[in-house]
Homo-oligomer: A and B are copies of this chain.
Amino acid sequence: VSIRMLRHYDEIGLLQPSSRSISGYREYNDEDVSRLQHIVSLRSTGMGLTDIAVHLASTTESKLEALESQANLLRTNIEILQQQLDSVDKNRRATLMGLTLTPEEIFEVFGEHDPTQHADETFERWGDTDSYKESQRRTSNYSKDDWASIQNDAQRHLDAFKDAMQAALAPDSEEAMAAAELHRLHIDTWFYPCSYEMQMGLADMYIADERFAEFYNNINPDMAQYVHAAILANALTNLD
C-alpha cells in the first residue's frame, strides 16, 4: 500500500480520507482503514478499481457482513492456491520418481491410488541406492500403456497369493511359493534387479511398514504375514 496508491484512490474518489490536517495532510480514521483493507483484499483478486467502487457502493453491508465477505474471499483464494500447490507438489513428486506422466495421466492410470504419495519419503530412504536409481532410469521411459501393463502384471501375483490363502494352502506350499516368484519377477522386470536377498528385504518391509501391511491386509486378512512367509520360504529354497 504505497503512498501513491492512497493518492490515486483519493483522486478517483475510491477512498477519500475523512479529514485533512490544517497543512493539507491526508488523515485516515478507522473506518477509512477498514475500507482500505477491503479494497486491498478485493484488488488482490484482480478486480479493477471501478468494479471495486461499484461493489463497495452497491453492497450496503454492515461492518460484520463486510468482514464475513472478506473472510470468504480469503478462504476462496487460499483454496485456489492450495489446489495449485497440490498440483505442483504432485508434479514434483512424479519428477522425483522419474515419472514422465502428467498429474492428469497419473490419475487416469492409477485412479485414487496415487503412487507419488510417498515419493519424498521414498527418496529420503532409498534415493542413494542403486535399486532406486535403476528404477528411476527405467520408469522414466514408461508410457501410460506401460503403466497399465505393470498394474495388470501386479494383479497376477496378488491374485495368486489371495487364491493360495483362500485355498488354505501353507505359505511354503508350491502355489504360494509360485506367487512369491511372480512377485520377484514383477519387480525384476519392471523396476530393478531383484535378487532373493533383495526380495526378503522387501518382505520384511511389508510387515514392518504399516502402510504396506495395510495394503495387503485390505486385500485379504493377514495377507501381509502370509506374503512375508511365502517370500521367505521361496527365497530360502532357491538360495540352497
Contacts and interface: CB of A to CB of B under 8 A. Distances in A.
Nearest to A63: B95
Contacts of A237: none
- What is the oligomeric copy number? 2
Contacts of A68: 92
B75 A78 contact: no
A148 interface: no
Interface in A80-94: 81-82, 84-85, 88-89, 91-92
A96 interface: yes
Contacts of A88: 67, 70-71, 74
A84 B95 contact: no
Interface in A47-73: 63-64, 67-68, 70-71
A141 interface: no
A52 to B, nearest CB: 17
Contacts of A63: 95
A71 B85 contact: yes
Given A67-B95, A92-B67, A95-B64, A81 B84 contact: no
A75 B67 CA distance: 24
Given A64-B95, A78-B81, 8 more contacts: A63-B95, A64-B96, A67-B91, A67-B92, A74-B84, A74-B85, A74-B88, A78-B85
Interface of A: 41, 63-64, 67-68, 70-71, 74-75, 77-78, 81-82, 84-85, 88-89, 91-92, 95-96
